[in-house]
A = this chain, B = another copy of it.
Amino acid sequence: MLNGIRENSTMKEVYQYIEDHKEMYVKWLFDLCEQPSVAAQNRGIKETAEMVEHHLKNLGAEVELVATEGNPVVYGEIQNGKEKTLSFYNHYDVQPEDPIDQWLSDPFTPEIRDGKIYARGVADNKGTLLSRICAVHAYQAVYGTLPINLKFLVEGEEEIGSPHLEEFIINNPKKIQADGCIWENGFKTLDGRLQITLGCKGMLYVELRAKGANIDLHSAKAAIVENPAWRLVWALSTLKNTKEEVLIEGFYDKVKTLTEEERKLTEEMELDEAADLENLGLKNYVNNLTGFPLKEKLIFQPTCTICGIESGYTAEGSKTVLPSTAKVKLDFRLVSEQDPEEIYDLLVKHLVKHGFGDIEVIKLKGQRAGTTELTDPLVEKVVSTAQQFYDQKPQVLRSQAGTGPMYNLCQKFGIPSLGFGVGNATSQNHAPNENINLTDYIEGIKFMASVLRSYA
């Protein structure tokens, strides 16, 4: 407790500095969000990487734009000769902004409405990235140097599955070394508690393509010419049933059952179903799940999701056409020991077995689930700092429902990792009207500064 008091008093000046420079820190965020950086479409990558490089140089870091076969990784190192080294894993790319017509303001013109900052990428994860940069900035401004060594690993392809991060990891084994890694992002619960997540789901993202005749035809011909849209529908209907069970043989083989500890964390996990459902405009969750089984499915179960499907005429009115092609984008969120390569093979085998060997399966992303032990000192340190700072117990999640390269970057090398950030329960990541609360951003800078202190 004495320690706590002392710590708080030493942080007071830093918090004050952050308050005094609030406008500047918000401007930095606006500037970064104004710059599109859509990895899926290769838009604005170079410009955004350079903006991040500039920010890190401004902190006095040794910065390198590390080239890969894909987008560069912005690497920054602040070497103070301290005992402990923390790394930040973040990304400067964002999801595509469509469907654009559902945005209330331009996705790349940040706007504050009712205390929220709206912009593509503001929650995932430019807000959290900048909260870390600003925390270091404020801490150094007040104390001159950090109490630890720091590494920034800011990649530009997270939203497309980090296809070249592995290349970076292999070529730069020293750069990724750290005693602990703070993962890219995080949110608050609906009742305002900070979430700290100790893992990520994995992912296999594929595109399935079916082909019919070599051109679109008058649909009169559909009596005798095969329709690729139908083939895709039939193939998909063999993959998952209406009970949400994935029907690919062997799909669940490497999904582990929950430990007692995991059950306990899941029981403690807050999910305000009524508020969440109201926010989503829904009456119930899949299979009418509620309570523990609902949370268990969200955190511990793999998924098979149609992210997009397209064939033929989709504009206004009617067009009687027999399409020549059909495609679907599927993501599988993976858990436990599920291996994306293996799941890909099982999927291809499944399609062949069910008579859909003609459907092309293109792998766009593959990533294993990553996790950190609950008992790791990094976890204990951050959880206790959060409890002190926010004056309430943070919500520790065994894993995000989302995906990240935590396995490849940390778990594989024995580096503990956990994530938190400046998002909220309705941040709408990947969706229109993505947002963070202005107060969460400023508070997040302060909390990050206090973690820098407590980790030392």
Provide the A96-121 mask, 1 if CB < 8 A to any CB of B, else 0: 10110010000000000000000000
Interface centre among A289, A308, A315, A320 (most CB of B within 10 A): A320
A433–B216 alpha-carbon span in the complex (Å): 10
- Taking a contact as CB atoms closer than 8 A, the residue among B315, B355, B364 that contacts A318 in the complex is B364
- For A213, the closest partner residue in chain B by CB is B280
State whether B301 touches A306 (Cβ < 8 A).
no
Write the nearest CB–CB distance from A223 to chain B, whole angstroms: 5
Write the nearest CB–CB distance from A153 to chain B, whole angstroms: 21
A319–B203 alpha-carbon span in the complex (Å): 12
State whether A401 touches B220 (Cβ < 8 A).
yes
Chain B residues within 8 Å of A403, by CB:
220, 320
State whether A308 touches B298 (Cβ < 8 A).
no
A255: Cβ under 8 A from any B Cβ: no
A310: Cβ under 8 A from any B Cβ: yes
A417–B218 alpha-carbon span in the complex (Å): 22
Chain B residues within 8 Å of A148, by CB:
none
A10: Cβ under 8 A from any B Cβ: no
State whether A223 touches B313 (Cβ < 8 A).
no
A418–B305 alpha-carbon span in the complex (Å): 50
Write the nearest CB–CB distance from A248 to chain B, whole angstroms: 15
Chain B residues within 8 Å of A203, by CB:
320
A433–B319 alpha-carbon span in the complex (Å): 16
A340–B275 alpha-carbon span in the complex (Å): 44
Stretch with Cβ within 8 A of B (4 or more), from A83-91, A229-237, A260-268: A229-237
State whether A431 touches B217 (Cβ < 8 A).
yes
State whether A219 touches B333 (Cβ < 8 A).
yes
- Taking a contact as CB atoms closer than 8 A, the residue among B215, B286, B308 that contacts A311 in the complex is B308
A95–B213 alpha-carbon span in the complex (Å): 19
In this complex, the interface size class of chain A, counting residues with CB under 8 Å from chain B, is 35 or more
State whether B303 touches A223 (Cβ < 8 A).
yes
Write the nearest CB–CB distance from A408 to chain B, whole angstroms: 18
A214: Cβ under 8 A from any B Cβ: yes
State whether A317 touches B430 (Cβ < 8 A).
no
A137–B96 alpha-carbon span in the complex (Å): 57
A160–B317 alpha-carbon span in the complex (Å): 7
8 Å CB interface, A382-412 against B: 400-403
Chain B residues within 8 Å of A214, by CB:
280-282
8 Å CB interface, A37-85 against B: 39-41
A21: Cβ under 8 A from any B Cβ: no
Write the nearest CB–CB distance from A346 to chain B, whole angstroms: 19
Given contacts A220-B403, A333-B223, contact A433 B215 (CB under 8 A): yes
State whether A40 touches B280 (Cβ < 8 A).
no
Write the nearest CB–CB distance from A35 to chain B, whole angstroms: 19
- Taking a contact as CB atoms closer than 8 A, the residue among B98, B229, B298, B428 that contacts A306 in the complex is B229
A221: Cβ under 8 A from any B Cβ: yes
Task: Pick the 7 closest A-B CB pairs, nearest first.
Answer: A40-B317, A214-B281, A237-B237, A308-B312, A220-B401, A229-B306, A310-B314
Q: Which residues of A contact B (CB under 8 A)?
A: 39-41, 95-96, 98-99, 102, 124, 159-161, 201, 203, 205, 207, 212-227, 229-230, 233-234, 236-237, 240-242, 280-282, 285-286, 289, 294, 297-298, 301, 303, 305-323, 326-327, 329, 331, 333, 355, 364-365, 400-403, 428-433
